[in-house]
Structure 1
Amino acid sequence: MDWWSRLIGGSYAPKTPPPKKATNDPQVRLARFKRNHHALLQLCNRPRNLANEDSLLQQLHSYLDRTAFFIREESRAPAPHLSLQFASSNQVYAVCARAATVSHSEPLIQSSIAVYAALVDSEEEDFLSSAPFAKSLMRLVRKVVESGTYLINVDTETAILELLFTISAKIRLQPEILSSWFQSTAKPELEDVFVKEKKSFVGIAQTDDFPLCYMLIDRVHHEGRIGDFARTGLLYIFEATGRSFDLEEWIVSSDIPTLMASGLGALYSQLSRELSILHPDATLPAVLAMSDYSTTHARATAESAFSERHQGHMATFLSYLAFWQDVLDHCKSADVRQTLLDHFQILFLQQLLYPSLLQSSDTDAGSSVAVLTYMTTMLESLEHPDLMHMMLAYLLAVDGGNSAKADAVDSPAKPPRSPTTLRRRQSLMLLTAPKDPDDAVEPTLFNLVDLIMNNISSKNSQSVFAALKLTSTLLNRQRSLALGAVLKVQSAKRSSVARTAGALDLELEKFTELVTSLHEHYGLEDAYSGLVDDVRLAIEAQIPFAPPTSQPDPQKDEMAGRYRLSPNDHLLRELRTLLRTFFTNSVDVNLALTQTIISIAQCVELRLDSWLAFDPAIYSFFDESSSPQKAWQTYLDKEEDAAFAALQQAARRPAWSDDDAPMLYQAIKALSLELDDVRTAVPNLDQLILGRKNMLQATSLDAPLISSDPSSSIGSPTQVFFLDVSRPSRGHSRSSSQSSLARGRNKAANIGSAHSASLAGSPAPKQAEDQNLNSSSSVPPTQSIFLPPPPETPSTTDVLMQELTFPSVKAEDGQVTSIAHTNERKASLNHVLTNVVVLQEFVLELVVVLQVRASVLGEKEVKLV
């Protein structure tokens, strides 16, 4: 009309806007809310008629949605909130709950939960501190979720758990409202009756006392948002124990700790008893593909560690274990925390984990692998010191009898337990005690160390790998308990005899000669620099930080080198035996073996004497008294002359004898001699080793793609050397896999740079060496590249698959060290090449450890002056 008025030139009068609804008027909002509530009451009081029940449910759903909408709108409106006052005085929520429970309709249940959530979020009229409100809500939730007569989907259950989580968060912030949701009726004296009757559970189940807590604990193991809401809400409840003595006593006397421990045990029991850690063909790493690695397990009943089912069960178990740690961190009550730890030890460690360890064996090719792998995974996931200390102290049978173990068990003093906590632990131990005391088996008879040692000497490579991985994890994650239990150490007293800087230089020189004797190439410096940072960080992390202004702590200063490791240690002997058979070992076993040895060498508490470094007790020096004196020495005063003499004494290099060399040096030297025999049989072995390094580096995702040789001007610097695999590979076609080289360390070292393609030509056997049968040089450039090679030329695959024989390993007394090594050892050249690359990187890392320890520890490691 305005446009028409302007068009005809008529006068225009502005139109008066309609009056706005008085939504800011509390009386108007109250009248609207009452009308909706009265209509809802009339529908609820109407007799049920199956003929028109659908329309009735739709109307109820509409009124419930409007009720939730009006409550949220009232919460945002300015005060006074008359509608909320009316909802509180008339208990509107009770009508909503009755409509939801009677109808059995999921839309109405969702709308009723939305009404309760809106009232909780309103923070008005003290709904959370109202006992009728709490009882009405929990009655609705328990009927819907626990009765089993209501069919609800995940969204509805998520909305319910979100509401319970919100209430838990309110209880955490407002402890005074706890009394509305929790009423203790527990009688701890009744527990003695349950104990005498040998009930199957421990603790008094009082679901009606705190239904909110039980609703949450029943769903802490769920995945997705339901589990997140349940776990976080339960954490808030445990945090409230520090503010409520009644809640603290109730949790200690209830079956909540029992439910948590049994839930952890149930998830652990879901894990397969027999496990295969063999990589499937589809995801086989290149370092394993280029070897004699087999992907076939001996037993079909063993579950693969890479299957989706196993990974799902393991993820669920680890998430619940992480929840245990969060509960102990958030719990403000020392008694509740100690009760939880008691249940963890008695119901999980003693009743489940230790029996599985005791019943495992490497003879069935799976059970010991499973237990060792699960232990490794748990130790890598655990962060809470009490849980980790309790688990390892029990499984390793650590006590105060041994001096080294006594040093490890130096946990801070704990507050005394309450009588309720003591009675709780006694009843728990009484219920779990065996009927016949003679049937009890303790870790003092067979513990985790025995299991590790048995599997390291096993014939099954998977068992050996799992045991070595657990050993390195123990040394890295819980070194204080591993030293003295896994490694038998002795306290080393400070004496005048110590390693010198000259001896360190000699050790570095000898081990470097071993590195170059395996294979000398220009990429060693780059590989060395890449290892230095990793080793330095690992060693520096063991030294406690002290501010410059603080007083020196003698105990911390004596931490470095306070233990001595005997070369006759059981674990060290087994590692030496595995090292002597390095070329024929499985590649994954060698990777775990080298990681374990490096973990031992990085322990700053251990001295390196006699097993990695030259023993100072057998130093012998050449007579240097006849050495001429420098002219400038005549100008030194007494102090300067004494300091220079001490520097000369520390810089002297002792005489080196292979018979008195460190244990690791002797073992690696023997491997170097074995490689020399292989080099005689395979004349182009160095070219093959270089090609294997290039291939492993090319398939590694961490190392640079290719770096050229600065000294070589032949060929393209970006050309990658790949072996000829045109012929069938006799079932070993995985050699071109593009998986990464994984050594089990934080960062893969730079194995080597690529050589030009002309320097890494196709290998040829010895008898064909003088025939110059290299296909790239014998075929004219104009000839078709699709012509096959001459028939007398063996393919690269045939050369790599040729079998090499190594002599049996003899002990120092001339006896064979193990039944598995009584015969000659055999492996393919392809397998040996990969092990040579791993061995060279390992020896190079030993050189880095020797030098970095001396640089970081200084006078605590070597005598400089």
Structure 2
Amino acid sequence: MDFWSRLIAGTSLASPAGNKASANNPEKRLARFKREYSQLLSIWRGAVSLSRSSEAAENIRHCLQDLTSILSDESRRPLPHPCITFASSKEIYIPIGKIATTSYNEGIIREAVALFATLIDSEEEDFVENEVFSKSLMNLLIRITGANSIRLGSDTEVEVVELSFNITTKIRLDPEILPAWFTAQDHGDDTEARKRDAHAKFTGKTHKEDFPLFYLLIDYIHHEGRIGDFARTGLLYIIEAASNSVALEQWIVESDLATLMATGLGALYSQLSRKLVIDHPPDQLPPILALSDYQHPNTTSEIVSSASPEFQGHMETFLSHLVFWQDVLNHCKSVEVKSTLLEHFQVIFLQQLLYPSLLESSDVDGGSSVAVLTYLRRILEALDHPDMIHLILHYLLALPDTTTNSSTLMTSISAARRQKSMDLATMMASHEELTSTPALFNLVDLIQGSLRSQSQQTISVTLQLVSVILRRHHRYAVTTLLWTSLVMDDGPQRTIGAHEKEMDFLLSLAGDIGGDLNFDEAYEDHVKDIMGVLESHLCSMGLVAPKSSGGTTRIPGAQATIPGAPRDVRPHTLRPEDPMLKTFVTILGTFFTNSVETNLSLTGAIVDLATCGYMRIDGWLLPDFSEYVYEEDEKEEEEKNEEKNEEIKEEKKDAEDAGDAFFASLSDEIEIQERAQLKALKRARRAPKLTESNIPPLLLQLKILVEQVTTYRNEIPRFDDLLQQRRDAFQAASSTADTPPRVRHAPPRSSFESPSRSASPPRNPFDSLAHRIFPELGTPSRSDSPRGRRSQDRSSGLGGNYSSATPARSAAGLPPPQFPTGRDASSRSSSEAFSTSHLGDSDDRLGTLGVPASQAAAFAVVDQSILARRVGLPTRKGELHPIPFPNLRALGSPEAEGNTEASPQDTVDGSGTPPSPRSPDGEGKEEKDLVSVSHVLTNVIVLQEFLLELAAMVQVRAGLFDEVRFV
């Protein structure tokens, strides 16, 4: 064949039919492959420098591309595969690896990587088990990703790491492949080198030549996206393979894997801003914040916003690497490797970084407390590995060590593991004199101090951290955050009468707030949510799960392997002097002037405090059963019962005298038992009196808040209309579909008497009649609603007395949907900014009432003026201090119907803003203690939802945990 024929045959001008025939013929395919390979070597040997000759580099790239295409096509065809066999026998990967290594050309490198990947994917000729192949490939990968290599593009780097991941996948499936990629060489001078280099004792050996694939993956585990996923998963597979190789297990323990992972995690944590403010994007502000006095916090070059995309990126990267730590521990089957990782996690990350950041945080330097408390909360939310959780909370809470003698532990581990522990201990001993420990200042001290802060953001993020610990790690909080006492009583102590009275009290408080709210529907939603929350709590799962044949229940779950974990939670309750409870009550005292975020965090923490099935709520949330006080007429009833018992005894004596002693005694004993049972039932249904002396401070503070709402209603004109507008605005924001208008229900009134309470609405006359005829009922008959009966004359409205459903009904299985307004409001998930224009819907409402359009517009202007006014907390005299509406009180009166327009001086001052309120003595109230009426309205709705949530909590617990007795 002459030169021109050979040239034409080797070009792409050949006919497609000829190429197809060549591909189908193994011999022709092999001839083409050899020709391409020879041309590749010829161009490489003839080129002086591929980095300088772009033409030669492009030709080599095309040759590599053709070789890869032929191999890929052949691997999909039936046997024989002569090209793959030729590649193996001639070891073509050796010169190809050298060409790519010395080319410094990304195109050539990428095609060479693709060719190696094709050979591995072919699963023929045992490429992956060939040591020569592995050395050639790893030499290429290490050289192109090293410090002196060219900067590869992101796509090429992904292909490099993906190829490495594919190798680890094959090692995982077939551990026999491992010796081709890992060789534990004997480094005789290692001991002397470690003695000379003190730093090596800490970091470990770095013999990368033993396992280059291992270190290649470590270099990429901190990256984001696919490349980081490939690297982390590949490293997991290698660590998992350590359980099948003693040599690899020892090598990993002696290596610097643990040090690199711990320092890498610390580096990512250090990238997070030292000062942080919690914020939301302006176009994604939740409606519940938009309808309040929410203001975007100020940011500087040092103070970063949590809504910043850069900060969120750093946070996600840090949390992803933290979860990678967890995945490594979950996949690791080697106890020594796992112990080495946990020791480095505690020493390098916890003791050297996380705890010092908590210790150095301050509430007066622009948000460092907010930052570290938020980071710790996110860490505890992201992790669920019991050993990592135990290390974090055990150290930060300064729990006592209950481990066995360290010398005993040392005898059961290898020499390499012992050396690593000693190196870490030596390093920590050199720093102990310079650093503080949790024994002097722990997480409890930081939380208690932060809850007393003047910053609403600090209080809010601290409450969120407390919620996470109470909800997910309650056993660690029982003896640290909380002052608890064990409950030794066996069986329920709260009577059904007391339970119904307390339910009536809570629900009536929610009803006293008023509003056009479907209480039955809202309460049903809270019942469903609370049911899901209680059933999913880790402590409560053992109480609600079916019992085994032995009468015990053990929920399978991961337990910490490190000694010293807290024991299982036992029945307990809060002590009245608990500092956390007192702090909650103190924050509740300024509920209406708190930020909405603070109130949502506070109510969430209180609910989480009552969620554990082993936490008894009597004594701190509900009145203590030992302090129940009943009506005086009960003594008269007991005297009557004693008289009846005397009569029974006399009748028994007469019957015995008549000679019918046996049948008389039998019938009398049965009657006595029946009377005793009826007496016990009646005693259990007695409703105790609720007075300020026996109501817990938390419940009493909630009652005071409801009374403050009454003061706001009396002092603020059009309060009920504005409150309903606010509720409609929230419903419109959270609803995605049109809903029919709700029927106005009369709100329930509290049975707890107070001098400042307004008169109750007229009650159903049939209620009192039923009580007179059937006094043993105790409460009116109940409908199917879990909230209790419905008055017949109120169009399904809620009456003044409410009973809970029976325990069997309340314990019915209900789905656990997402939490509504009580803690994580559905409106908070809104991705769109909420406009306050919803508040102007009063025009339509007034129009439907027959109010002229001009007057409706005037009402809207007045409403906006009222909403903008700034008010404080009501005084003890039951009025706002100061009174901010001197000329707007009569808006709702008949005299004002003809003059609804307010003059400018009645609403705002000459500057266009509401006048500063003045106290009676003429001194202006501090601005920080004043909030707008709009802000108060939002907090009123939050309070009402929280009361319904607490009532649902009490009812569901009664049925789910059998907390109520009926006799």
Name the TM tier (shorter chain): 0.7 to 0.9
**Does the 8 Å contact 1:487/1:569 carry over to 2?**
yes
Could you say what secondary structure the match of 2:295 adopts? Answer: coil
The one-letter code matched in structure 2 to 1:618 is: E
Q: Where in structure 1 are there 5+ consecutive unaligned residues?
A: 1-16, 407-412, 713-739, 781-787, 808-820
**Does the 8 Å contact 2:718/2:892 carry over to 1?**
no
User: Counterparts of 2:510 and 2:915 in 1: how far apart (Å)?
Assistant: 25
After superposition, where does 1:390-401 map in structure 2 within 5 Å? 390-399=391-400
In structure 2, relative to structure 1, the CA distance for the partners of 1:682 and 1:543 (3 Å cut) is same
Q: Any idea what the Cα deviations from partners look like across 1:721-762, whole Å, max 9, x if unmatched?
A: xxxxxxxxxxxxxxxxxxx99654375699xx9998237965
Q: Any idea what the Cα deviations from partners look like across 1:781-834, whole Å, max 9, x if unmatched?
A: xxxxxxx97656648999996777999xxxxxxxxxxxxx99994333222222
Q: Any idea what the Cα deviations from partners look like across 1:193-223, whole Å, max 9, x if unmatched?
A: 6477431752111111111111111111112
Given the alignment of the two structures, is residue 164 of structure 1 paired with residue 159 of structure 2, yes or no?
no
- Number of the residue aligned with 1:678: 712
- Number of the residue aligned with 2:802: none
- Number of the residue aligned with 1:351: 352
**Does the 8 Å contact 2:821/2:942 carry over to 1?**
no
- Number of the residue aligned with 1:567: 576
- Number of the residue aligned with 1:518: 513
- Number of the residue aligned with 2:372: 371
**Does the 8 Å contact 2:820/2:826 carry over to 1?**
no
After superposition, where does 1:398-417 map in structure 2 within 5 Å? 398-399=399-400, 417=413
User: Counterparts of 2:295 and 2:269 in 1: how far apart (Å)?
Assistant: 29
In structure 2, relative to structure 1, the CA distance for the partners of 1:157 and 1:495 (3 Å cut) is closer
User: Counterparts of 1:792 and 1:440 in 2: how far apart (Å)?
Assistant: 62
User: Counterparts of 2:139 and 2:573 in 1: how far apart (Å)?
Assistant: 65
Give identity over the alignment, percent: 38
- Number of the residue aligned with 1:845: 949
User: Counterparts of 1:515 and 1:347 in 2: how far apart (Å)?
Assistant: 51
In structure 2, relative to structure 1, the CA distance for the partners of 1:509 and 1:638 (3 Å cut) is same
After superposition, where does 1:277-676 map in structure 2 within 5 Å? 277-297=278-298, 301-399=302-400, 417-435=413-431, 437-494=432-489, 498-541=493-536, 542-544=540-542, 546-547=545-546, 550-553=549-552, 562-622=571-631, 623-624=633-634, 626-627=636-637, 640-676=674-710
Number of aligned pairs?
Answer: 785
User: Counterparts of 1:167 and 1:92 in 2: how far apart (Å)?
Assistant: 19
In the superposition, the TM-score normalised over structure 1's length comes to 0.83
- Number of the residue aligned with 2:938: 834
1:140, CA displacement in angstroms? 0.9
User: Counterparts of 1:281 and 1:364 in 2: how far apart (Å)?
Assistant: 25
Name the stretch that deviates more: 217-226 or 652-661. Answer: 652-661
1:513, CA displacement in angstroms? 2.3
**Does the 8 Å contact 2:723/2:937 carry over to 1?**
yes
1:103, CA displacement in angstroms? 2.4
**Does the 8 Å contact 1:804/1:827 carry over to 2?**
no
**Does the 8 Å contact 1:186/1:250 carry over to 2?**
no
Name the stretch that deviates more: 828-837 or 293-302. Answer: 293-302
Name the stretch that deviates more: 291-300 or 76-85. Answer: 291-300
After superposition, where does 1:9-48 map in structure 2 within 5 Å? 21=21, 23-46=23-46, 48=48
1:63, CA displacement in angstroms? 1.9
**Does the 8 Å contact 1:800/1:828 carry over to 2?**
no
- Number of the residue aligned with 2:185: 185
User: Counterparts of 1:284 and 1:374 in 2: how far apart (Å)?
Assistant: 22
In structure 2, relative to structure 1, the CA distance for the partners of 1:129 and 1:776 (3 Å cut) is farther
Given the alignment of the two structures, is residue 745 of structure 1 paired with residue 754 of structure 2, yes or no?
no
- Number of the residue aligned with 1:757: 845
Could you say what secondary structure the match of 1:767 adopts? Answer: coil
**Does the 8 Å contact 1:360/1:367 carry over to 2?**
yes
The one-letter code matched in structure 1 to 2:954 is: L
After superposition, where does 1:9-88 map in structure 2 within 5 Å? 21=21, 23-46=23-46, 48=48, 53-88=53-88
RMSD of the alignment, in Å?
3.9
Name the stretch that deviates more: 142-151 or 258-267. Answer: 142-151
- Number of the residue aligned with 2:785: none
Q: Any idea what the Cα deviations from partners look like across 1:495-537, whole Å, max 9, x if unmatched?
A: 5882211111111112222222223544222211111101011
Could you say what secondary structure the match of 1:515 adopts? Answer: helix
The one-letter code matched in structure 2 to 1:767 is: N
User: Counterparts of 2:76 and 2:233 in 1: how far apart (Å)?
Assistant: 28
1:465, CA displacement in angstroms? 0.7
1:453, CA displacement in angstroms? 0.7
User: Counterparts of 2:92 and 2:270 in 1: how far apart (Å)?
Assistant: 47
1:555, CA displacement in angstroms? 8.7
Name the stretch that deviates more: 33-42 or 234-243. Answer: 33-42
**Does the 8 Å contact 2:94/2:136 carry over to 1?**
yes
1:772, CA displacement in angstroms? 7.3
Could you say what secondary structure the match of 2:964 adopts? Answer: coil
User: Counterparts of 2:485 and 2:189 in 1: how far apart (Å)?
Assistant: 50
1:710, CA displacement in angstroms? 5.7
Could you say what secondary structure the match of 1:252 adopts? Answer: helix
User: Counterparts of 2:668 and 2:826 in 1: how far apart (Å)?
Assistant: 52
Name the stretch that deviates more: 590-599 or 616-625. Answer: 616-625
The one-letter code matched in structure 2 to 1:849 is: M
The one-letter code matched in structure 2 to 1:649 is: R
In structure 2, relative to structure 1, the CA distance for the partners of 1:105 and 1:656 (3 Å cut) is closer
**Does the 8 Å contact 1:292/1:830 carry over to 2?**
yes
In structure 2, relative to structure 1, the CA distance for the partners of 1:264 and 1:52 (3 Å cut) is closer
User: Counterparts of 2:287 and 2:911 in 1: how far apart (Å)?
Assistant: 19
**Does the 8 Å contact 1:534/1:746 carry over to 2?**
no
Could you say what secondary structure the match of 1:490 adopts? Answer: strand
User: Counterparts of 1:209 and 1:385 in 2: how far apart (Å)?
Assistant: 33
Q: Any idea what the Cα deviations from partners look like across 1:391-431, whole Å, max 9, x if unmatched?
A: 11111112268xxxx9xxxxxx9995444323312212212
User: Counterparts of 2:325 and 2:231 in 1: how far apart (Å)?
Assistant: 13
**RCO comparison, higher one (Cα < 8 Å, 6+):** 2
In structure 2, relative to structure 1, the CA distance for the partners of 1:248 and 1:801 (3 Å cut) is farther
- Number of the residue aligned with 1:728: none
Q: Where in structure 2 are there 5+ consecutive unaligned residues?
A: 1-16, 404-408, 556-566, 645-666, 747-818, 830-838, 850-855, 867-884
User: Counterparts of 1:101 and 1:696 in 2: how far apart (Å)?
Assistant: 64
The one-letter code matched in structure 1 to 2:824 is: R
**Does the 8 Å contact 2:288/2:827 carry over to 1?**
no
In structure 2, relative to structure 1, the CA distance for the partners of 1:828 and 1:561 (3 Å cut) is farther
**Does the 8 Å contact 1:184/1:247 carry over to 2?**
yes
Q: Any idea what the Cα deviations from partners look like across 1:116-145, whole Å, max 9, x if unmatched?
A: 111101111111111111111111111111
**Does the 8 Å contact 1:365/1:460 carry over to 2?**
no
Name the stretch that deviates more: 492-501 or 119-128. Answer: 492-501
In structure 2, relative to structure 1, the CA distance for the partners of 1:645 and 1:560 (3 Å cut) is farther
The one-letter code matched in structure 1 to 2:681 is: L
User: Counterparts of 1:497 and 1:350 in 2: how far apart (Å)?
Assistant: 45
User: Counterparts of 2:918 and 2:904 in 1: how far apart (Å)?
Assistant: 27
Given the alignment of the two structures, is residue 691 of structure 1 paired with residue 710 of structure 2, yes or no?
no
1:655, CA displacement in angstroms? 2.7
**Does the 8 Å contact 2:607/2:950 carry over to 1?**
yes
Q: Any idea what the Cα deviations from partners look like across 1:261-283, whole Å, max 9, x if unmatched?
A: 11111000000000011345443
- Number of the residue aligned with 2:797: none
User: Counterparts of 2:410 and 2:671 in 1: how far apart (Å)?
Assistant: 59
1:357, CA displacement in angstroms? 0.5
The one-letter code matched in structure 1 to 2:21 is: K
In the superposition, the TM-score normalised over structure 2's length comes to 0.74
**Does the 8 Å contact 2:730/2:827 carry over to 1?**
no
